[in-house]
């Protein structure tokens, strides 16, 4: 059974050597972790707790899972890499109510609510009630959703535990373990080649190869102390391997990107790393509220603390509207005209469509010269590529329906910029792009601050 296969805990046992017992007691005090059990590495002894997700709550893993923002998606490629550190998505589930129901069932199952069997039963009921035509056989799809979320939550929780400064001090080395969760029937050669690789825990290569490294990957990482290093006959860490790369075409943007061989598209990142770094401040790591409910806004740091001057130049006034639109669109490989749009990956890894619709009214007329925004086109493009913050929020239309919006904000000390996208039945679509209003810098910054509401998806890291 999957619950048994994914059981990570061993039995607590007291090591025979007093020094190891002392290590265990010290480790038990770190970060509130009361369980310290063997990491199934006889040569290295005691290490981090490995609670069982699905039957025993694992605080860091559950905290990671619960801070996510539920989002609709049309395919597995909608969100790649660290976008999943903040976004909870189910590939092909474009109804947010359906996504929320699946997420709630996962949460119950992972937090002592029966594991995979309970989730599979709930999933079948949810799908039938919603009339959702998902891809794949029901049992396979339920297993994919359950295992993917469980393993990435576990990986994120482990990252938080192992990257704790005190833990790194006591156990500074990490060892890659092929088939850590379970031995695969057919191993992937690239993953098998990493088995036993021992590096410092702060080696930057972990940002790329920290597992899981693809769909169904069961690899993991174990910590090693200085004593453990000597027990396995090493004087120091291994040299970081040189990763061979392959060229892969992004199915949504059509861009050719380089990926490490043996790692699936979008999995060349460390699950939980951006969450642990606090890319979204801890006090703002909240799910998106349901439409119509407005949570009191938390106190926000001044954007001036993280902003930087825009590099793009102002454009000359008096040009044709299409010229200005083209100055924006060229940044994304798009152009003015029919079928001239393009899709690009924003800084979180989400796929966002870009077209001239950003600068046209619903009737097709240009709105690009409104309030003199035309000279700001290159700077607006820079805002979308390199925003200070990205927010998600609900807003009610004039007809009374609720729509989901995604807002990109940038402040450069004098002028602010925002680009707004809305979610419809065909996915994200452009709504508007504009520099901030206001006669003074204070008024312009106040305008940007009023747009900072909903769920924060991304915040520029402080330097």
**Per-residue pLDDT averaged across 145-173, rounded?**
94
Do residues 348 and 341 make contact, with C-beta atoms less than 8 angstroms apart?
no
What's residue 400's pLDDT? Answer: 74
181 pLDDT above the threshold of 90: no
Higher pLDDT, 62 or 278: 62
pLDDT at 438: 63
Average pLDDT rounded to a whole number, residues 218-232: 94
Supply 395's token pair.
């807003």
pLDDT tens digits for range 379-393: 999 999 999 999 988
Q: At residue 353, what are phi and psi to the nearest 5 degrees? A: -80, 140
So what's the pLDDT on residue 25? 32
- Whether 168 has a pLDDT exceeding 90, the answer reads yes
421 within 8 A of 405, measured Cβ to Cβ: yes
- The span from the CA of 38 to the CA of 44, in Å, is 9
Judge whether residue 159 has pLDDT over 70. Answer: yes
Q: For the whole prediction, is pTM greater than 0.85?
A: no
pLDDT band at 441 (very low <50, low <70, confident <90, very high): confident
Cα–Cα separations (whole angstroms), residue 179 to 41, 185, 331: 13, 10, 43
Distance of CA 339 to the CA centre of its chain: 30
Of 69-73, 234-238, 412-416, 455-459, give the lowest mean pLDDT range: 412-416
Across 358-364, average pLDDT: 87
Provide mean pLDDT across the span 361-375.
Answer: 87
Residue range 386-414: mean pLDDT, rounded: 86
Question: How far is it, in rounded angstroms, from Cα 201 to Cα 231?
Answer: 18
Summarised one tens digit per residue, pLDDT across range 19-66 is: 333 333 333 333 333 222 234 333 443 334 343 444 445 789 999 999
Give the chain as a 3 state SS string: CHHHHCCCCCCCCCCCCHHHHHHHHHHHHHHHCCCCCECCCCCCCECCCCCCCCCCCCHHHHHHHHCCEECCCCCCCCECHHHHHCEECCCCCCCHHHHHHHHHHHHHHHCCCCHHHHHHHHHHHHHHHHCCCCCCCHHHHHHHHHHHHHHHHHHHHHHHHHCCHHHHHHCCEEEEECCCCCCCCCCCHHHHHHCCCEEECCCCCHHHHCCCCCCCCCCEEEEECHHHHHHCCCCCCCCCCCCCEEEEECCCCCCEEEEECCCCCCCCCCCCHHHHHCCCCHHHCCCCCCCCCCCCCCCCCCHHHCCCCCCCCCCCCCCCHHHHHHHHHHHHCCCCCCCCCEEEECCCCEEEEECHHHHECCCCCECCCHHHHHHHHHHHHHHHHCCCEEEEEEEECCCCCEEEEEEEEEECCCCEEEEEEEEECCEEEEEEEEECCCCCHHHHHHHHHHCCCCEEEEECCCC
Higher pLDDT, 12 or 448: 448
Distance (Å, whole) CA 69 – CA 7: 27
C-alpha to C-alpha distance for 428 and 36, rounded to whole angstroms: 46
- How many other C-beta atoms are found inside a 10 Å radius of the C-beta of residue 292? 8
Stretch 418-447: mean pLDDT: 80
> 297 pLDDT exceeds 90?
no
Output 130 or 25, whichever has higher pLDDT: 130
Lowest mean pLDDT among 164-168, 229-233, 297-301, 304-308: 297-301
Q: Which of 45-59, 78-92, 135-149, 251-265 has the lowest mean pLDDT?
A: 45-59
Contact, 234 vs 224, CB < 8 A? no
Asked if residue 320 has pLDDT above 70, the reply is: yes
- Does the bond joining 187 to the residue before it have cis omega, within 30 degrees of 0? no
Domain segments of the chain as ranges: 2-277, 282-459
Question: What whole-number distance in Å separates Cα of residue 116 and Cα of residue 136?
Answer: 17
Mean local confidence (pLDDT), 344-349: 92
Q: Which residues pair with 79 in a beta bridge?
A: 350
Q: Cα separation of 379 and 434, whole Å?
A: 10
Average confidence score pLDDT of the chain: 82
CA distance 161 to 163: 6
Residue with tokens 């639109």: 325
Residue 279 to residues 67, 168, 389: CA-CA distances in angstroms?
13, 21, 10
pLDDT for residue 453: 87
């Amino acid at each position: 059974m999957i619950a048994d296969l994914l059981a990570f805990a061993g039995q607590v046992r007291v090591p025979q050597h007093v020094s190891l017992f002392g290590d265990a007691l010290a480790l038990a005090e770190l970060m509130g972790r009361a369980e310290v059990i063997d990491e199934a590495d006889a040569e290295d002894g005691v290490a981090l707790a490995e609670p069982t997700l699905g039957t025993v709550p694992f605080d860091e893993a559950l905290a990671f899972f619960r801070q996510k923002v539920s989002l609709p998606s049309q395919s597995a490629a909608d969100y790649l890499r660290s976008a999943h550190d903040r976004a909870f998505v189910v590939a092909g589930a474009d109804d947010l109510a359906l996504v929320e129901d699946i997420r709630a069932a996962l949460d119950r199952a992972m937090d002592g609510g029966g594991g995979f069997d309970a989730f599979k039963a709930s999933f079948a009921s949810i799908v039938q009630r919603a009339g959702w035509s998902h891809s794949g056989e029901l049992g396979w799809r339920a297993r994919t959703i359950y295992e993917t979320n469980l393993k990435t939550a576990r990986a994120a929780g482990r990252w938080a535990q192992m990257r704790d400064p005190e833990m790194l001090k006591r156990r500074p080395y990490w060892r890659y373990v092929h088939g850590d969760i379970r031995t695969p029937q057919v191993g992937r050669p690239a993953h098998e080649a990493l088995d036993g690789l021992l590096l410092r825990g702060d080696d930057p290569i972990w940002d790329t190869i920290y597992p899981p490294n693809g769909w169904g990957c069961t690899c993991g990482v174990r910590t090693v102390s200085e004593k453990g290093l000597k027990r396995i006959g090493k004087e120091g860490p291994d040299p970081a391997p040189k990763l061979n790369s392959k060229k892969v075409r992004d199915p949504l943007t059509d861009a050719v990107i380089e990926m490490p061989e043996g790692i699936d598209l979008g999995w060349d990142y460390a699950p939980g790393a951006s969450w642990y770094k606090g890319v979204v401040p801890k006090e703002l790591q909240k799910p998106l509220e349901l439409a119509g409910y407005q949570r009191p806004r938390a106190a926000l740091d001044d954007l001036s603390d993280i902003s930087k001057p825009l590099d793009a130049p102002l454009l000359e006034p008096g040009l044709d509207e299409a010229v200005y639109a083209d100055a924006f669109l060229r940044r994304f490989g798009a152009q003015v005209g029919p079928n001239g749009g393009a899709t690009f990956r924003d800084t979180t890894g989400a796929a966002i469509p870009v077209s001239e619709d950003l600068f046209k009214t619903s009737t097709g007329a240009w709105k690009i010269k409104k309030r003199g925004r035309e000279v700001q086109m290159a700077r607006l493009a820079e805002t979308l590529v390199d925003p200070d913050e990205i927010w998600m929020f609900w807003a009610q239309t004039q007809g009374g329906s609720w729509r989901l919006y995604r807002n990109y904000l940038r402040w450069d000390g004098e002028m602010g910029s925002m680009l707004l996208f809305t979610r419809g039945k065909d996915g994200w679509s452009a709504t508007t792009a504009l520099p901030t209003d206001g006669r003074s810098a204070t008024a312009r910054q106040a305008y940007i601050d009023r747009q900072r509401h909903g769920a924060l998806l991304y915040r520029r890291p402080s330097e």
